[in-house]
């Protein structure tokens, strides 16, 4: 087995979840998904597709009609996006891996903004690339980027700049000015930007959508923007995403799709079409519910002494630390085994997140958040 694979760390989130396996009393907030089911019209569309017998291979890049729908959806948010630049993928994480396969190989340098969902930084490492980590910093109740530090890290030797914003786990979000500065810099260095923007609609600072690199980039820029149906449409288990790429990259990604998954299932793509048809009403309503849950949880956490809480402008997570607790994995395990509270350890997102805990607030019933807060208060002896 390749050393790069043997050296991959096991998921610390799964390790905590396994500690609570089989227990019905656990309040689980460790995974990045809502406990709401996918809307009925989406499920009906997929079921109707199966009844029609749409069980065969599709085009590598996705159904033409779905690519057109995605392009229209993205264009309404960010200006014109041509359907010819859209590739449908079997999950957002697959889209990210395809981007890495297309762009990096052994010895290439990738600069990643961290802490971040571990899959993102692991993917280039699997391919033999060197990952240089540039950390966000918690300041005045927010995680913030030192823009100059990041610009200094990206040199002509940097093959890819990897950015997830809104960020998992911190909720940090790039500003439009920061995106422009990064794009201008990467144009000078010849660096590709891979932007994971799957949380762009779960954004609470106004406007209904977070700033996107698509707002400032030209179609032929070295930019890959990755999206997913998982978060904004409650479709985590459907495993469907998409990429927006420059025209010159479409042939390459089509080949990689063939050699990875061939294509996404047609019935899943039909469900995605139904999801996009609901977007104008459903997504803002979902975001409003998420914001209410965020505000409720943050207020409860901020009321507990000894906690430092970062207020997230985007995403679905509260990221906080407990004074005197520096081993987040041990604390998370103790919370689940002794108190039935399931949170994700910050160490799962890299050393930069050590000492912090991630709480997914995407709960259908806000009372579950209150119950979780009571269990945390008891666990901390407050």
Average pLDDT score, the chain: 96
Angle 328-339/12-19 helices, nearest 10 degrees?
20
Per-residue confidence band for 196, with pLDDT thresholds at 50, 70 and 90: very high
Q: How far is CA 239 from CA 46, 89, 272, in A?
A: 13, 8, 10
Report yes or no: 199 and 315 within 8 Å, Cβ to Cβ: yes
Instruction: Measure the CA–CA gap between 63 and 314, rounded to whole angstroms.
Output: 30
Angle (CA) 295-201-264 rounded to 5° is 130
**Global confidence as pTM:** 0.95
Q: What is the mean pLDDT of residues 161-168?
A: 98
Per-residue pLDDT at 141 = 80
DSSP three-state, residue 292: helix
What pLDDT score does 206 carry? 86
Residue 358: strand pairing partners: 319, 344
Please name which of 330, 363, 350 lies closest in space to residue 19, comparing C-alpha atoms.
330
Average pLDDT over residues 257-270: 97
CB 247 within 8 A of CB 220: yes
207: pLDDT confidence band, cut at 50, 70 and 90?
confident
pLDDT of 96-145, one tens digit each?
Answer: 999 999 999 999 999 999 999 999 999 999 999 999 999 999 988 889 99
Q: State how far the Cα of 179 lies from the Cα of 273, in Å rounded to an integer.
A: 30
In the 8-state DSSP scheme, what is residue 83? Answer: G
How far apart (Å, rounded) are the C-alpha atoms in residues 178 and 44?
41
Interatomic CA distance for residues 265 and 277, integer angstroms: 19
Hey, what domains does the chain have and what are their CATH numbers?
A: 3-38+280-379 (3.90.1150.10), 40-278 (3.40.640.10)
Cα-Cα end-to-end distance for the chain:
49
pLDDT surpassing 90 at residue 183? yes
pLDDT in tens, 73-82: 999 999 999 9
% of the chain at pLDDT higher than 90? 93
> With bands split at pLDDT 50, 70 and 90, how would you rate the model's confidence at 151?
very high
Name which of 328, 299, 372 is nearest 115 in CA terms: 328
- Give the pLDDT score at 166: 98
- CA 182 to chain centroid: 20
* Whether residue 316 has pLDDT greater than 90: yes
What pLDDT does residue 249 have? 98
- At 375 the three-state DSSP class reads helix
Q: Return the H-helix or E-strand segment holding 4.
A: helix 3-6
Residue 217 has pLDDT above 90, yes or no: yes
State residue 237's pLDDT score: 97
How many residues are there in the chain?
382
Task: Indicate if the pLDDT at residue 34 is higher than 90.
Answer: yes
Tokens of 230: 């998982």
What was the pLDDT predicted at 307?
Answer: 95
pLDDT of residue 5: 85
Contacts for 158 with CB less than 8 Å, ≥ 6 apart? 109, 110, 111, 132, 189, 191
């Amino acid at each position: 087995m390749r050393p790069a694979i043997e050296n991959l760390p096991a998921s610390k989130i799964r390790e905590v979840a396994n500690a609570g396996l089989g227990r019905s009393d656990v309040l689980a907030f460790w995974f990045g998904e809502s406990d709401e089911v996918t809307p009925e019209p989406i499920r009906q569309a997929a079921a109707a597709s199966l009844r029609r017998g749409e069980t065969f291979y599709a085009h590598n890049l996705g159904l033409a009609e779905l690519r057109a729908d995605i392009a229209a959806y993205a264009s309404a948010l960010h200006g014109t996006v041509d359907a010819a630049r859209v590739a449908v993928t079997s999950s957002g994480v697959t889209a990210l891996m395809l981007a890495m396969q297309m762009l990096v190989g052994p010895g290439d340098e990738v600069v990643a903004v961290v802490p971040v969902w571990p899959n993102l930084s692991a993917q280039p490492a699997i391919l033999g690339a060197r990952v240089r980590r540039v950390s966000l910093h918690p300041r005045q109740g927010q995680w913030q980027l030192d823009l100059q530090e990041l610009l200094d890290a990206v040199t002509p030797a940097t093959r890819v700049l990897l950015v997830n914003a809104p960020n998992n786990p911190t909720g940090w979000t790039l500003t439009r000015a920061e995106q422009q500065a990064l794009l201008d810099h990467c144009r000078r260095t010849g660096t590709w930007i891979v932007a994971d923007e799957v949380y762009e609609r779960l954004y609470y600072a106004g406007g209904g959508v977070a700033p996107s690199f698509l707002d400032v980039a030209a179609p032929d820029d070295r930019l890959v923007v990755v999206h997913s149906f998982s978060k904004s449409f409650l479709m985590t288990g459907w495993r469907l995403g998409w990429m927006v790429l420059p025209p010159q990259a479409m042939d390459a990604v089509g080949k990689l799709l063939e050699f990875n998954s061939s294509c996404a299932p047609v019935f899943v793509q039909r469900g995605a079409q139904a999801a996009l048809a609901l977007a104008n009403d459903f997504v803002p309503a979902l975001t409003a519910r998420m914001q209410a849950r965020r505000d409720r949880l943050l207020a409860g956490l901020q009321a507990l002494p000894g906690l430092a809480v970062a207020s997230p402008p985007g995403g679905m997570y509260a990221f906080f630390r407990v004074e005197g607790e520096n081993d987040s994995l041990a604390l998370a395990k103790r919370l689940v085994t002794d108190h039935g509270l399931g949170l994700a350890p910050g160490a799962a997102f890299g050393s930069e997140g050590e000492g912090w805990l991630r709480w997914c607030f995407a709960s259908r019933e806000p009372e579950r958040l209150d119950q979780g807060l009571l269990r945390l208060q008891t666990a901390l002896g407050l």
